[in-house]
Amino acid sequence: MRVSTSLLHQRSLDLMQMQQQSLLRTQTQLATQQKLLSAADNPGDWAAAMGMDQLLAQASRYQSNAQAAQHRLSLEETALADGMDVLAHARELAIQGNSSTQSPETRAVIAQELAGLREQLLAIANRDDGQGRYLFAGARDDAAPFAWTGSAASYGGDDAPRMLPIGNARSIAVGDAGSAVFMGLRTGDGRVQVGADAANTGAMHLQQAVVRDAAAYDGSSFSLRFTGGTVEIRDAADNLLETRAYAPGSTIQFNGVELRFAGEPADGDRYRVEPSTQQDMFALLDKLAAIVDGPQDTTGARAGAQTAMQQALAELEAAQSQLSAVRTGAGLRLGAAQDAEATLSAHTVEAESALSNLRDVDIAEAASRLQRELLALQAAQASHAQIQGLSLFSYLR
């Protein structure tokens, strides 16, 4: 192979350029603290780093959702706890107002306080999350879900809860539909309800009414008429079905329903037994206020009020149980959101560590490499300076 002067010069220049490029790359890595400056540096690591970036971005969105879910569920749990306090206070007032020692004036005051509790519970049901989104409106959470119509509450929200994704193929409900929280209560024991005739004059009042035999209960209405030590059982059209002897305090069982009364009935006293109907918690508090404030100036009226109160207190207990169950569910979802955030945080740390191994430069190694490359460039420059003096004309002089 013939080595010419021009070839020596070109090879020397190429070598210096290679050393300069390597030095520039190392300097850039140190300045940016990134060892992957382009996909050409390491296509495999570059693709892996891009995948890590996408994973971290997705984890960040899920973490944000988990934090938002915790905020909403914490507010919901607080609201439900406040609602349970309202119902507990309503129970205390109802029992207080049902005492025979109360005067019409004190009962009126208690009734006003019960009506105030209805408004308080309505305000709780219409709480938002501080950002204009209502906690108990379901997926349609941009407007207050409840309004009082004068005898019942209307619900304008959605029956499906709002969902937030907090992981791959994992979403969490960040609220409960108000229809499932404050609506849908059943009157009476949940299957049947009992009402006293307004014309009753005796002291007998209901102590308990339950469906003992669900198979025997066909959902039909009937009434009981007490007279002369007997009880007549009549259908909804007032047709006589059966007559039985009745002793005060004894249990009456008919059509799968078990009834127990206290006190002496007067001849002609009647009680209606009907299937339960639905009501909302706000209407229940309004009903309690009406019972407490109702007339109790006669024996029959007092017995009727006690019967109505016995039913209403059972309904109030069911309302408390309903709020408690919803609160338990919200607490479980809150715990799940906290666990999801903790898991995502741990995965994020692992992914960031892996990404750092792929992308971040080792400062100590790069600084050492920079020194080596600088020495190599200086050597190449010195060599080029000597090669420049090597030519045939130098020997001919």
Q: What is this structure's pTM? A: 0.78
pLDDT recorded at residue 94:
95
Q: Which residue is it, tokens 């019972």?
A: 291
Tens of pLDDT along the chain (397 residues) come to 555 556 556 665 666 666 666 555 656 655 555 655 555 555 655 555 566 667 777 778 888 888 889 999 999 999 999 999 999 999 999 999 998 889 999 999 999 999 999 999 999 999 999 898 999 999 898 999 999 998 899 999 999 888 899 888 889 999 899 999 999 999 999 999 999 999 999 999 999 999 999 899 999 999 999 999 999 999 999 999 999 999 999 999 999 999 999 999 999 999 999 999 999 999 999 999 999 999 999 999 999 999 999 999 999 999 999 999 999 999 999 999 999 888 888 877 776 666 555 555 655 565 566 566 566 556 555 665 665 655 555 555 5
Among 238, 222, 314, smallest CA distance to 271 is for 222
Q: What tens digit of pLDDT does each residue of 163-208 get? A: 899 888 889 999 899 999 999 999 999 999 999 999 999 999 999 9
pLDDT recorded at residue 60:
82
pLDDT recorded at residue 375:
62
Query: Measuring CA to CA, how many Å separate 390 from each of 4, 377, 379?
Result: 10, 20, 17
Distance between CA atoms of residues 388 and 8, nearest Å: 9
Angle at which helices 299-359 and 281-293 pack, to 10 degrees? Answer: 150
Q: Which two tokens stand for residue 232?
A: 């007549």
Distance between CA atoms of residues 183 and 48, nearest Å: 53
Q: Identity (one letter) of the amino acid at 132?
A: G
Q: Which two tokens stand for residue 243?
A: 């007559």
What is the rounded (10 degree) CA torsion for 203, 243, 310, 212?
A: 150
Distance between CA atoms of residues 80 and 334, nearest Å: 14
Distance between CA atoms of residues 271 and 231, nearest Å: 11
Among 152, 137, 128, smallest CA distance to 79 is for 128
Q: Which two tokens stand for residue 124?
A: 């709780």
pLDDT recorded at residue 354:
64
Among 143, 136, 144, 183, smallest CA distance to 160 is for 136
Please return the burial class of 210, using the count of CB atoms within 10 Å of its CB with bins 0-12, 13-18 and 19+: middle
Residue 202 has φ and ψ, to the nearest 5°, of -80, 175
Query: Measuring CA to CA, how many Å separate 216 from each of 186, 191, 213?
Result: 20, 13, 5
Contact present, 233 and 243 (Cβ < 8 Å): yes
